[in-house]
Structure 1
Amino acid sequence: MTVITIWSESGGVGKTTTTLNLAAALGEQGKDVLIIDLDPQPASITDHAGYQDAKNGDVEVTLSDVLLDDDVGLSEVIIEDELFDLAPAHESLASLETTVRAQQISTAEFLLRSKLAEIEDEYDYILIDPPATLNLLVDNALIASGNVLVPMEMTRKGERSIGGVVETVTAIESQLQRAQPDFSLNVIGVLPNKVDGSILNQEIQGSLEDVDGVEVLPITIPSYNVMEQAWDAHLDIFRYAEHDDYGLRKYQESLLDAYRDLATLIIELDADDETEAVVS
C-alpha cells in the first residue's frame, strides 16, 4: 500500500481537484484507491465527490471518532464508490486540535498513521487531502504517508509557496528522526497545475528546476474552465466526460490524458521503489 499526501501551503492551487482526479485515474487503471479527506472546510473533496451529507449531516461515526477512539476503525466511515473509496471529512475535524489538547494526547501527530494499519491489505493507494494551513491535520497526513505530491500554479504566488512546503517537510522529518532515525518524508515532486502556456508559466516552471530539493514532474495539468464545471457537478473529470448531460470537447480531453499520465508516473515510481527494496 502506497500512501501519498497531496498538499501545498497555498490555497487555490488545485490540491483537492488533483487528489480527486488522480484517484479516479488510478481507479480507471484497476487500482484499489482510498481518499482520506482531512479538510473540515465546506468546499473539501467530500463535497466535490458528492457526499455533502456525510460531512455536515448527523452521522453515527465521523473521521474524528476514528482518530480519537481506539475502538473505532477507519473502515466504519469509508464510502465505497466506483473508481475509488472515500473516508469523508466531517466538520468536527475543525475542533480536533482542541480536543487533543483537552485529552492530553501526547502522540496526536500519529493518530492517522496508527489507523492505516487496519486497512493496509485492502488498497493499493491511499491519497490524503489535508487543509492547506499547517496544523495537526497536516502533520497527521504527512506522518501517515511519508510521501508528498505538491500541486502548484505557475504563478508568482505559487513560486513563493514551494519554499515553505520544502521547509515544512524538512522540519517535520528532522523532528521525527530524533525518535525514529529511519523516518523520512519524500517529496515526490511539484505538479504544474492550471497551466495556460503563458510566458510567465514557462519562466516559473524553469526557475523551479533550480530549487534544491524540488523536482518538477514532467506532466502539466492544463487550465480549462471545464474543471470548475466538473466541481459544480460534484464529479471527477473522468465521470464528467462520460456523463450524458456534460462531456468534454475534443481539446479538453487532454485533461484526461494528463491525469492518466500522472497515475502512470505514480505507479512507475512505486514499482521502482519496490525494485530498489528487493535489490537492497
Structure 2
Amino acid sequence: MATLTIWSESGGVGKTTTALNLAAALGRDEYEVLVVDFDPQPASLTDHAGYTKRKKADREATIVDALLDEEISVTDVRIEDELFDLVPAHESLASLESTVRAEQISMAEFLLRSALEPVESEYDFILIDPPATLNLLVDNALIASGNVLIPVEMTRKGERSAEGVIETVEALERQLQRAQPEFTLNVVGVLPNKVSGSTLNREVRTSLQESDIELLPVTVPDYNVLEQAWNAQLDIFRFADHDEHGLRPYQEQLPEVYRALADSVIERMETESATRQVSVE
C-alpha cells in the first residue's frame, strides 16, 4: 500500500484535477484506490466526482466525525465509486483547527493518519487532496502519506510555488524528526501541468531543472477539455467514453498522459520504498 498527497501552495494549478485523474488512471489499471478529499472549499474533488450534496449533509457521518469520534471510521463515510472509493470532504473541515484547539486535542497533526490505518490493507493506493493553504489539514495529509506530488504551472509563479512547497516539506520533515527520527517526507516529483509549449514554459522548465528540482517525465497539456470534464463531474476517462462528450482528435492523448503519470508515480514510489528498506537494514 502506498499513500500520496497531491499538493501545491498555489490554487488553480490543477491539483484536484490531477488527483481525480490519477485516481481514475490507477483504478482503470485495476488497482484498489481510496481518494480522501481533505479540502472544505466549495470547488473540491467531491464536487468534481459528482457528490456535491455530501459536502453539506448534516444527517450523515462525515470525515470530521471519522477524525474525532472513535466510534466512527472511514468505512462509515466512504463512497464506493466505479474506479475508486472516495472519502468526501465536508464543509465542517474548515473549522477542524479551531475544534481541536477548543477541545485541547493533542497530536492533532496525526488525526488523519490514525483514521486511515484501519483501512490501509484494503487498498493499493490512497490519494489525499488537501487545500492549497498551509494549515492543519495539509500537515495531516503530509504526515498521513509521507509522500507528495507537486503539480505546478510552467510560469514564474509556478516556479516559486514548487520551490516553496519543497522548502515547506523539508521544514516539516525536520520538525517531525525531532519526535520521530525515522520519519521522512518524500517528494515523488514535480508535475508540469497546464503546459502550452510557450517560450516561458520552456524557460521555467529549464530553470527548475537547473535548480535540481526533479520534474516528472510527464507533461499535462493546457486543454480546456479538462475544465469541461470538471463541469460534467467526470474524470477524463469517463468524459472520453461518454456519449454526450468525448474528445477531439488532438485531445485523445490526455487519458494516456494520466496513465503515464500513474506509471511514473508507481515507479518512483516503489524505488523510494526499496531505498528505505535498504537503509533500515
TM-score range, shorter chain: over 0.9
Distance between the aligned counterparts of 1:137 and 1:164, measured in 2? 17
Distance between the aligned counterparts of 1:260 and 1:149, measured in 2? 15
**Amino acid in structure 1 at the alignment position of 2:200:** L
Distance between the aligned counterparts of 1:87 and 1:246, measured in 2? 27
Runs of at least 4 residues off by over 6 Å: none
**Amino acid in structure 1 at the alignment position of 2:51:** Y
SS at match of 2:79: coil
**Amino acid in structure 1 at the alignment position of 2:147:** N
Ranges in structure 1 where 5+ consecutive residues have no aligned partner: none
1:113-124 equivalences under 5 Å are 113-124=113-124
**Amino acid in structure 1 at the alignment position of 2:253:** S
Shift, 1:274, TM fit:
4.8
Shift, 1:278, TM fit:
6.1
Shift, 1:70, TM fit:
1.7
TM-score, normalised with respect to structure 1: 0.97
**Amino acid in structure 2 at the alignment position of 1:49:** A
Whether the aligned pair in 1 keeps the contact of 2:79 and 2:87 (CA below 8 Å) is yes
**Amino acid in structure 2 at the alignment position of 1:9:** E
**Amino acid in structure 2 at the alignment position of 1:54:** R
Match of 1:255 in 2: 254
SS at match of 1:60: coil
Match of 1:72 in 2: 72
Distance between the aligned counterparts of 1:271 and 1:185, measured in 2? 15
**Amino acid in structure 1 at the alignment position of 2:3:** V
Whether the aligned pair in 1 keeps the contact of 2:48 and 2:230 (CA below 8 Å) is yes
**Amino acid in structure 1 at the alignment position of 2:36:** I
Distance between the aligned counterparts of 2:120 and 2:3, measured in 1? 10
Shift, 1:270, TM fit:
3.3
**Amino acid in structure 2 at the alignment position of 1:216:** L
Higher mean displacement: 157-166 or 104-113? 157-166
Distance between the aligned counterparts of 2:140 and 2:81, measured in 1? 25
Deviations 1:49-72 (A, max 9, x none): 000011112341011111111221
Distance between the aligned counterparts of 1:151 and 1:59, measured in 2? 35
Ranges in structure 2 where 5+ consecutive residues have no aligned partner: none
Higher mean displacement: 270-279 or 167-176? 270-279
When the two chains are superposed, the root-mean-square deviation of aligned CA atoms in Å is 1.2
Distance between the aligned counterparts of 1:261 and 1:3, measured in 2? 18
**Amino acid in structure 2 at the alignment position of 1:171:** A
Distance between the aligned counterparts of 1:278 and 1:109, measured in 2? 25
Do the aligned partners of residues 162 and 278 (structure 1) sit closer, same or farther apart at CA in structure 2, a change above 3 Å counting? closer
Match of 1:272 in 2: 271
Match of 1:216 in 2: 215
1:16-35 equivalences under 5 Å are 16-35=16-35
Deviations 1:55-100 (A, max 9, x none): 1123410111111112211111110011111000000000000000
**Amino acid in structure 1 at the alignment position of 2:121:** D
TM-score, normalised with respect to structure 2: 0.96
